C-alpha cells in the first residue's frame, strides 16, 4: 500500500506529541510499518509545532512531501493554515475551532475563518472541541476527541486506537481518554460539515 500521512500541527504545549504517539502506536499494532517525526527544543516554548505520522508496508521518510498529506489534525486554526501546502483536494482535516494568541499581534479571527473556508478539501471538520471537552468534564480532552473523529477516516481498526491509548497514556488518564475517543468517534455522524 502507498504511504499514508497524518500530520499533527499546533502550538507548543498543545499535546501534539502525545496525540501523534497514539496514532503511531495504533498503526504499529495494526501491523503497519510506521515512522514519526517531531521537533523538540526551542519550539516547545509556545512556538509552532508539528509531528508527522506516516504508515504503510514500508516507510522510509519520516516527513511529508508538499501536497501529499491525507489527514491533518490541527489543534489551532492559524497553525492549520500554516501547513496547507502539504494538503491536497482529497485531504481530511480535523481542526479545533480556536485561536491561540500570538505575542505582539492582533489577530482578526474573521479573516482567519475566511482563510480556513478557502481550504476546500474533501472533508474539513471545524468544531469547538474545547466545548465538547468541557462537557466531558476535563478541558484537556480536545485532542483525543479529535482523534476519535479522525479515526472514522483512517483505515485502522478502532480497537488499535483503544489499545494505543492504554499503552501511551498514564493509568489515571486512560479511562477518561477512552471515553473521549469514543465520544469523538460517534460525533462525526452528526457533524458532516464540509462533506
User: For 61, left (φ over 0), alpha (ψ -120 to 50), or beta?
Assistant: beta
Residue 1 contacts other proteins per CB under 8 A: no
Q: List b or e across 122-149, with b for residues whose CB sees 16 or more CB atoms inside 10 angstroms.
A: ebbbbbebbebbeebeeeebbbbbbbbb
Closer residue to other proteins in complex, CB, 106/190: 106
CB of 186 to other proteins, least distance (A): 27
Give the Cα separation of 97 and 90 in Å (integer): 21
Other C-beta atoms lying within 10 Å of the C-beta of residue 159: 11
Which of 43, 138, 179, 182 forms a contact with other proteins (CB under 8 A)? 43
Taking CB under 8 A as the binding criterion, the range among 56-64, 141-149, 171-179, 180-188 that sits at the site for other proteins is 56-64
Q: List b or e across 62-71, with b for residues whose CB sees 16 or more CB atoms inside 10 angstroms.
A: eebeeebbbb
Residue 36 contacts other proteins per CB under 8 A: yes
Binding mask 76-115 toward other proteins (x if CB under 8 A, else -) reads --xx-xx-xx-xxx----------xxxxxxxx-------x
Residue 142 contacts other proteins per CB under 8 A: no
Which of 4, 7, 34, 180 forms a contact with other proteins (CB under 8 A)? 34
CA-to-CA dists, residue 189 to 172, 185, 186, angstroms: 29, 8, 6
Size of the site for other proteins (CB under 8 A): 54
Other C-beta atoms lying within 10 Å of the C-beta of residue 97: 16
Residue 136 contacts other proteins per CB under 8 A: no
Residues in contact with other proteins by the rule CB under 8 A: 3, 11-12, 21, 24-25, 28, 33-48, 59-68, 78-79, 81-82, 84-85, 87-89, 100-107, 115, 118-119, 139
Amino acid at each position: 500500500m502507498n504511504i499514508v500521512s497524518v500530520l499533527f500541527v499546533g502550538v507548543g504545549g498543545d499535546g501534539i506529541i502525545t496525540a501523534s504517539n497514539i496514532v503511531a502506536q495504533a498503526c504499529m499494532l495494526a501491523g503497519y510499518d510506521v515512522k514519526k517525526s517531531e521537533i523538540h527544543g526551542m519550539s516547545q516554548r509556545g512556538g509552532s509545532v508539528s509531528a508527522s505520522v506516516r504508515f504503510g508496508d514500508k516507510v522510509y521518510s519520516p516527513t511529508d512531501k508538499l501536497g501529499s498529506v491525507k489527514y491533518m489534525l490541527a489543534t489551532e486554526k492559524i497553525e492549520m493554515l500554516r501547513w496547507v501546502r502539504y494538503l491536497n483536494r482529497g485531504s481530511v482535516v480535523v481542526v479545533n475551532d480556536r485561536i491561540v494568541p500570538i505575542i505582539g499581534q492582533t489577530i482578526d479571527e474573521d479573516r482567519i475563518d475566511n482563510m480556513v473556508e478557502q481550504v476546500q478539501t474533501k472533508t474539513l471538520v471545524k468544531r469547538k472541541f474545547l466545548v465538547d471537552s468541557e462537557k466531558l468534564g476535563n478541558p484537556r480532552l480536545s485532542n483525543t476527541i479529535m482523534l476519535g473523529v479522525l479515526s472514522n477516516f483512517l483505515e485502522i481498526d478502532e480497537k488499535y486506537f483503544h489499545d494505543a491509548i492504554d499503552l501511551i497514556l498514564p493509568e489515571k488518564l486512560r479511562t477518561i481518554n477512552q471515553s473521549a475517543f469514543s465520544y469523538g468517534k460517534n460525533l462525526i455522524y452528526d457533524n458532516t460539515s464540509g462533506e
